[in-house]
Structure 1
Amino acid sequence: MASSLGGASVSQTDDFETFTPTTDVEPLKRAWRNEKAAPEILPFEASLVGRIKEQIQLMEDTIEEYSRSGIDPLIVSLYQMDLDRTQFLLRSYIRIRLQKIEKYMLYILKSDELFRRLSEEEITFTDRCSHDMKKHFDESVLSKLPNNYQDILRQSIISEEDDMVPEPPLDTFVVCKSKEYLEHIQLEDEEERASSRVEEPFEMEANVLHIIRYKPIKSLVESGRIDLL
């Protein structure tokens, strides 16, 4: 009898070990790290989040079934810990994105590139927040100011651009590493190349940590060739 139970426990442990690698925890962890380190909002990982939600539902069903069946509590706790970890990463990933939306909402709304990076739920959230914020400022502050200063985007009507809209600091330095050998990375943008001496193109060895300004490598981050840490 003891041997049978022991064999069942080993089998259940093997099931957990074979089940865990099939989840998308590592890609989610990578997306979470990139989103957390990037100064701007990155494209929403729609397909990844969809798969993660399905896997969370599967793990919840498995835990419920195992609990009813009297499976070894240790096995159930392993599934529960994996479920908790996955839920934490997903919630944190979404929370970080919402914090960026709140901080750079007006800039995102005026940038087609950034607006296209939002999920449908984030677009709804952004529209509602911007409407509520504008209404609040209009009623509490702007309506009491002279007509020349009632714009939420500009300091006055004589301003030539939206100088009241905070922008993501793309010149922030980030810690990163590449997945492969990369060469000919230009660390200056067009304006810098036109006004100053151009440095030699930068090279990155695979899996070697670098501290670089985000702006020159943003396209490589978006394409998945560079990971932020």
Structure 2
Amino acid sequence: MDSGLGEGSSGYSTMDDYESLISTTDAELLKRAWRNEKAAPQILRYEAALVQRSREQIKLMEETVEEFTSSGVDPLTVSLYQMDLDRTLFLLRSYLRVRLQKIEKYMFHIRKTTELWNHLSRAEQNFAERCIEDMEQHMQQSVLSKLPSSYKSHLKQSSSSEEDDMVPEPKLDTYVICRSKKFLGAFQLDDRQFLSIQCHLLSWRMNSFIFLMSMNFWTVLKTLLTLKLMIYTLYLISL
């Protein structure tokens, strides 16, 4: 097995260099951030530097397209610049929209979880706080004010509940399909925390798809992101 991995690594070296070069562009980084955010059940850390660079590039491209249009540059050239601009706008808007959808759905869970709250940008935190205030006010005026005192909480089913059992939380018992961005060879997944992972020793070849199951998806997700792997799609299950 060791010899086979050695031969494979030399065969993939040239393609790995090309993939590494392509994957470092902001467009590809933004696409990866969007896909990972869309696939992950919990909200990921806000890519502040990447978003700022993307906004600056969008502003520069808009100025370039406007200048080319006014100066009579070939329409085909202008359309290519416009296409690149539209693609970047789509990726950025989609990335931010997915994050806002998660905040709206899991606002109470995110607010009480320090780690997730720190994943938000300052603007997203303000948005979450306004959503929470509006939801609390709406629930109080339309429903809770008409219920007995023991059922007036929007977080608990009753005053006897010990936990916030009415707060929606993302499902973390998840099947994951991921694709390796480069040749990594054999990799031992960390199971010291007694994670129920079906396949512990994986041979990560470039563009190979791996199917995993974990009882604690969040731990596995952070491991995959550390390895710079692309999360392609998720299948939620009930265990």
TM-score using structure 2 length: 0.79
Q: Say if 2:182 is the partner of 1:183.
A: no
Local SS of the residue matching 2:160: coil
Cα pair distance change 1:181/1:22, threshold 3 Å: closer
> What letter corresponds to residue 189 of structure 2 in structure 1?
I
Q: CA deviation at 1:23?
A: 5.5
How many Å separate the matches in 2 of 1:119 and 1:100? 14
Answer whether contact 1:101 1:126 (CA < 8 A) is retained.
yes
Q: Say if 2:202 is the partner of 1:203.
A: yes
Could you give the per-residue CA deviations for residues 21-68 of structure 1, whole angstroms, max 9, x where no partner exists?
995111100111101111111101000000000000010010011111
Matching residue within 45, 50, 54 for 2:47: 45
Cα pair distance change 1:224/1:120, threshold 3 Å: farther
Q: CA deviation at 1:159?
A: 0.7
Please report the RMSD computed on the Cα atoms of aligned residues, expressed in angstroms. Answer: 2.3
Q: CA deviation at 1:186?
A: 3.7
Unaligned ranges ≥5, structure 1: 1-19
Q: CA deviation at 1:175?
A: 1.5
Paired residues for 1:64-213 under 5 Å: 64-179=66-181, 180-181=184-185, 183-186=187-190, 189-190=193-194, 201-207=200-206, 208-213=208-213
Answer whether contact 1:39 1:168 (CA < 8 A) is retained.
yes
Could you give the per-residue CA deviations for residues 74-108 of structure 1, whole angstroms, max 9, x where no partner exists?
00000001100110110011000111111111100
> What letter corresponds to residue 202 of structure 1 in structure 2?
L
Q: CA deviation at 1:216?
A: 4.3
How many Å separate the matches in 2 of 1:67 and 1:21? 31
Percent identical among aligned pairs is: 51
Unaligned ranges ≥5, structure 2: 1-21, 233-239
The number of equivalent residue pairs is: 205
Cα pair distance change 1:199/1:209, threshold 3 Å: closer
